[in-house]
Amino acid sequence: MAQAKSGSDRMEKIVSLCKRRGFVFQSSEIYGGLNGCWDYGPLGTELKRNLKDFWWRRMVRERDDVVGMDGSILMNRQVWVASGHENTFTDPMVDCRNCKSRLRADQLPEKNGRKQCPVCGSFDLTEPRAFNLMFKTYVGATEDESAITYLRPETAQAIFVQFRNILEVSRKKLPFGIAQIGKAFRNEINPRNFTFRSREFEQMELEYFCRPENGLELLEYWLQERLRFYRDIGLSSESLHVHKIPPEECAHYSKGTYDIEFEFPFGIQELEGVAYRTDYDLNQHQKASGKPLDYFDEESKQHFIPHVVEPSAGVDRTALALISAAYDEEVVTDEKGKSETRTVLRFHPRMAPIKCGVFPLLKNNELLVRQAREIVDQLRGEMMVFHDETGAIGRRYRRQDEAGTPFGVTVDFDTIGENGPALRDTVTVRHRDSMEQERIAIKELTAFLGERIR
Ligand code: GAP
């Protein structure tokens, strides 16, 4: 296996593959891009969709204690005042007086105990000052103070402010959760590492409400559940790390936080935070809005504010982790002894953007092409399929290897009965990782592939 030499070398190859194959493009590329913003192409969009669908399936549909919501991105400014974001959602920023770069004060390299500008090497830096990460905007036609609000920097707050409504309509009893997937925006001082730290990104968040006495136990439960999720989408246990945040570094209201981290090519970095946020958020919103956000316990006949455990994951970070983990290069030798490097994305089949490539052996044979088209029609309702009839079959396999397609179906002369009736109406199924092939009856294909991609 020809492993990429170093993390940065590997990362460069991943970024290049993402662009070449249509996973991720720079946003507004033809105008020079927009720093910290990315567009997902056809394969990247399917990958993200599979990830979000599987999260939703695991976190909402397979449970009877979680319901979903889909909140607006723009909310009343008072939400952000009450949550503390308007005053405290900041990063420390410095300016380099020499090259005018804006830098995150807590990420500066040091030389001989002095902070240094990573762009020009100067030590002439301003004092750190707090920079609010929320994007400010105006609602309506007047751009004055009363019209100010922000693009949401997390999806969680919509869940807290709708807690009462959702409790009433869902008629859930504690413990229960509200899940949401959606865009969030942060004006990061230093977006970096490709999509890892972006200014516009998507979150998958669950707020799991509980009795105060169950908070700590549920924190451990959700940590394990979330690790199981990552393993089930194809990230190995060895590549995942749990970092328990020391109490002095936790938010003042948190009684415990774990970061789930992944070994990216650029280092071990956070994928998800699992935090026990106590009753802080509901309390804040109850105080600020004057509206009750408590829970009535029918057994004890008492009212109280529920506590909450929050597993909060990033879609883009997880998609990048999936691509990083899947990326592989291997030297393969054909029957004539010719060697070449095969680039392959070894996605778990349930995450793979395209599940199956369908290939008529020859483009100019009408029977082969028609049969292949019929197979595409048969599979299309169940999964993402791709018909490819151009180029040598080996090249078509390689193209799908690079896209991470786990199965390739080839329609050949046996399929159409030209070599006798024995293999008529069967196709070869090629497995991406082993490159082994097996013969399957066309009528069994949907079930054969279906059980392997779910
Ligand atoms: N509601 C809690 C919350 O938002 P967070 O740790 O700030 O917590 C949760 O964010 C997750 O959102 C992170 O673990 C990460 O996966 C993702 N995320 C945060 N900032 C991001 C950024 N600038 N770019 C991409 N993903 C980001």
Residue 314 alpha carbon, nearest atom of ligand 1: 16
The number of beta carbons lying within 10 Å of the beta carbon of residue 213 is: 8
Residue 351 in tokens: 């995450």
Query: Whole-number mean pLDDT of the chain?
Result: 96
- 115 touches 93 (CB < 8 A): no
For residue 1, pLDDT beyond 60: no
The Cα–Cα gap between 253 and 282 comes to: 12
- Closest C-alpha to ligand 1, atom 18: 314
> Which residues sit opposite 178 in a β-bridge?
67, 207
> Which residues sit opposite 270 in a β-bridge?
261
For residue 444, pLDDT beyond 60: yes
Angle at 141 between CA 137 and CA 142, to 5 degrees: 75
Q: Is 390 exposed, middle or buried, given 0-12, 13-18 or 19+ CB atoms closer than 10 A?
A: exposed
CA-to-CA separations, 177 to 15, 52, 132, 302, 379, in angstroms, rounded: 36, 17, 30, 20, 36
User: 3-state class of 246 per DSSP?
Assistant: coil
Count of all residues that appear for the chain in the document: 454
Residue 170 in tokens: 């869902």
The Cα–Cα gap between 374 and 409 comes to: 12
The number of beta carbons lying within 10 Å of the beta carbon of residue 154 is: 19
Residue 386 in tokens: 């791709």
The Cα–Cα gap between 181 and 165 comes to: 18
- Picking from 60, 47, 36, 45, the residue whose alpha carbon sits closest to that of residue 311 is 60
Instruction: Read off the pLDDT of each residue in 328-338 and give the average, rounded to a whole number.
Output: 90
Residue 136 in tokens: 């400010």
- Strands (DSSP E) contained in 52-146 are 66-68, 90-95, 102-104, 110-111, 114-115, 129-132, 136-138
Residue 283 in tokens: 């309390």
Instruction: Read off the pLDDT of each residue in 274-292 and give the average, rounded to a whole number.
Output: 98
For residue 440, pLDDT beyond 60: yes
- 316 C-alpha to center of ligand 1: Å? 10
The Cα–Cα gap between 43 and 46 comes to: 5
| Band of residue 132 on the pLDDT scale cut at 50, 70, 90 | very high
Residue 117 in tokens: 């500008």
Q: What is the pLDDT of residue 5?
A: 56
- 313 C-alpha to center of ligand 1: Å? 7
pLDDT tens digit sequence for 297-316? 998 899 999 999 999 999 99
- 201 C-alpha to center of ligand 1: Å? 8
Count of CA atoms in the C-beta half-sphere (13 A) of 75: 25
Q: What is the pLDDT of residue 6?
A: 83
- 270 C-alpha to center of ligand 1: Å? 9
- Closest C-alpha to ligand 1, atom 17: 314
| Band of residue 51 on the pLDDT scale cut at 50, 70, 90 | very high
For residue 2, pLDDT beyond 60: no
- Closest C-alpha to ligand 1, atom 14: 272
Name every residue whose Cβ is closer than 8 Å to that of residue 422 and which is 6 or more positions away in sequence: 414
pLDDT tens digit sequence for 144-190? 999 999 999 999 999 999 999 999 999 999 999 999 999 999 999 98
For 5-44, the DSSP string reads SSHHHHHHHHHHHHHHTTSEEETTGGGT--TT-EEE-HHH
Name every residue whose Cβ is closer than 8 Å to that of residue 9 and which is 6 or more positions away in sequence: none
Tokens 């590549």 correspond to 239
Residue 260 alpha carbon, nearest atom of ligand 1: 14
Q: Is 37 exposed, middle or buried, given 0-12, 13-18 or 19+ CB atoms closer than 10 A?
A: middle
Q: What is the pLDDT of residue 429?
A: 98
Q: What is the pLDDT of residue 3?
A: 47
* Residues of the chain by 3-state class (helix, strand, coil), percent to 5: 35, 30, 35
- 98 C-alpha to center of ligand 1: Å? 32
- Closest C-alpha to ligand 1, atom 15: 314
Cis ω before 175 (30° cut-off from 0): yes
CA-to-CA separations, 220 to 32, 56, 60, 235, 256, in angstroms, rounded: 45, 21, 19, 20, 10
Global pTM value: 0.95
Tokens 């008629």 correspond to 171
Alpha helices, H only, 98-249 = 156-161, 163-170, 215-232
- 154 C-alpha to center of ligand 1: Å? 8
Question: Which residues have CB under 6 Å of ligand 1?
Answer: 154, 156, 186, 188, 197-198, 201, 203, 205, 270-273, 310, 312-314, 316-317
- Picking from 437, 411, 406, the residue whose alpha carbon sits closest to that of residue 426 is 411
Q: What is the pLDDT of residue 334?
A: 82
> Which residues sit opposite 409 in a β-bridge?
358, 429
User: 3-state class of 131 per DSSP?
Assistant: strand
Mutation to probe ligand 1, out of 90, 161, 202, 312 (largest number of atoms < 8 A from CB): 312
- Picking from 406, 375, 402, the residue whose alpha carbon sits closest to that of residue 389 is 375
Residue 198 alpha carbon, nearest atom of ligand 1: 24
The Cα–Cα gap between 400 and 408 comes to: 8
Residue 84 in tokens: 């503390």
